[in-house]
């Protein structure tokens, strides 16, 4: 059995490839660009890198998929990829939906029957009840969540029509060393000892999940035969946004203070900036920033014998320390 990691240059993809190689598993890493220290085009030490684009049937054919392979689908366009001002739905759809369709077609031709797919918490939209269970209504707030939801539908259709065994994960905000996004702005303020604004009071629980816990869940899914789920991924003891940022400030020895702001006014301002081509955050990010958002992970724990091992505060501090090294 080979592990085909599609999107191997991404945040989770890099960690997954590393974990598989350390476990002595045969790995094929597939992405548009190689990762420093990762597999190379010359197969060795259990791993090989195949350059390619998930949107290209020709590139996917170079994977030479086999029936006993397991495909880890991590390729996606997200908010860290330089989102265009106009045509966002089509931009996200090109990879998140079109790429998924191409990958499923390649698997169908090869008779490859197992997949692990990382979707997103953004398919749910704003929580209607807490904690958010996997059967919670899915009402995405924007194109990223919508296209991930469409990808989920394609995968479920392949399961129904082709017998694909595919695990769908919906993680909360994935964090850890090397992943910054909107956190980079906050970390810069903390490093300089400047006031740190929060959207709203900051007393809402802002659950996260570490990249290493995501990798552990992925490996548990493969060991369990790729049960469908969907499975929520989130930390065991979610903290408030105020607690998380306050912990980083104390760790940094910073003179920064947390500043609550009127959520409606801030979101209106962010929407105006986005409209005029100066986005600080995107609607899917700021519309839920002050929401109490906590996942129920009981199904994940029961079916996959998995639970999050990393605490959100520790993960935030590790991300801040990595930021300082940039």
The catalytic residue positions are 144
Closest CA to 136 of 16, 293, 1: 293
Report the distance separating Cα 184 and Cα 323, nearest Å: 7
Are residues 92 and 77 in contact, defined by beta-carbon separation less than 8 angstroms? Answer: yes
Hey, how many other C-beta atoms are within 10 angstroms of the C-beta on 183? 19
DSSP assignment of 280-295? SS-HHHHTTTTS-B-B
Are residues 17 and 8 in contact, defined by beta-carbon separation less than 8 angstroms? Answer: yes
> What is the rounded end-to-end Cα distance, in angstroms, of the chain?
37
Report the distance separating Cα 48 and Cα 318, nearest Å: 30
Report the distance separating Cα 190 and Cα 323, nearest Å: 11
Alpha carbon 17 to its chain centroid, in Å, reads 15
Closest CA to 19 of 178, 219, 174, 177: 219
Are residues 258 and 246 in contact, defined by beta-carbon separation less than 8 angstroms? Answer: yes
What are the angstrom distances between the C-alpha of 147 and each of 89, 112, 158, 224?
8, 24, 17, 27
Q: What is residue 196's DSSP assignment?
A: E
Are residues 279 and 273 in contact, defined by beta-carbon separation less than 8 angstroms? Answer: yes
Are residues 38 and 29 in contact, defined by beta-carbon separation less than 8 angstroms? Answer: yes
Are residues 5 and 65 in contact, defined by beta-carbon separation less than 8 angstroms? Answer: no
């Amino acid at each position: 059995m080979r592990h085909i990691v599609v999107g191997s240059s991404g945040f989770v993809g890099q960690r997954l490839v590393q974990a598989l190689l350390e476990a002595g598993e045969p790995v094929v890493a597939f992405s548009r660009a190689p990762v420093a220290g990762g597999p190379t085009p010359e197969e060795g030490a259990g791993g090989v890198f195949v350059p390619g684009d998930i949107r290209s049937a020709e590139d996917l054919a170079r994977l030479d998929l086999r029936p006993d392979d397991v495909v880890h689908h991590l390729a996606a366009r997200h908010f860290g990829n330089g989102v265009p001002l106009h045509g966002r739905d089509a931009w996200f759809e090109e990879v998140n939906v079109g790429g998924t369709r191409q990958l499923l077609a390649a698997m169908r031709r090869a008779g490859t029957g197992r997949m692990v797919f990382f979707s997103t918490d953004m398919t749910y939209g704003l929580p209607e009840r807490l904690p958010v269970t996997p059967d919670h209504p899915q009402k995405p707030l924007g194109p990223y969540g919508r296209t991930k939801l469409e990808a989920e539908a394609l995968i479920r259709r392949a399961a129904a029509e082709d017998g694909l065994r595919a695990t769908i994960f919906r993680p909360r905000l994935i964090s850890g060393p090397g992943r910054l996004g909107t956190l980079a702005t906050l970390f810069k303020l903390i490093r300089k000892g400047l006031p740190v604004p929060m959207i709203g009071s900051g007393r809402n629980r802002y659950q996260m999940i570490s990249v290493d816990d995501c990798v552990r869940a992925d490996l548990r899914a493969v060991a369990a035969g790729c049960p469908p789920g969907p499975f929520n991924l989130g930390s065991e003891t979610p903290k408030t946004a105020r607690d998380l940022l306050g912990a980083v400030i104390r760790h940094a020895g910073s003179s920064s203070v947390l500043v609550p702001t009127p959520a409606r006014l801030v979101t209106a301002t962010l929407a105006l900036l986005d409209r005029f081509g100066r986005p600080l955050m995107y609607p899917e990010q700021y519309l839920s920033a002050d929401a109490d958002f906590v996942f129920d992970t009981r199904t994940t724990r029961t079916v996959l014998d998995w639970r999050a091992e990393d605490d959100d505060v520790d993960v935030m501090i590790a991300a801040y320390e990595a930021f300082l090294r940039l």
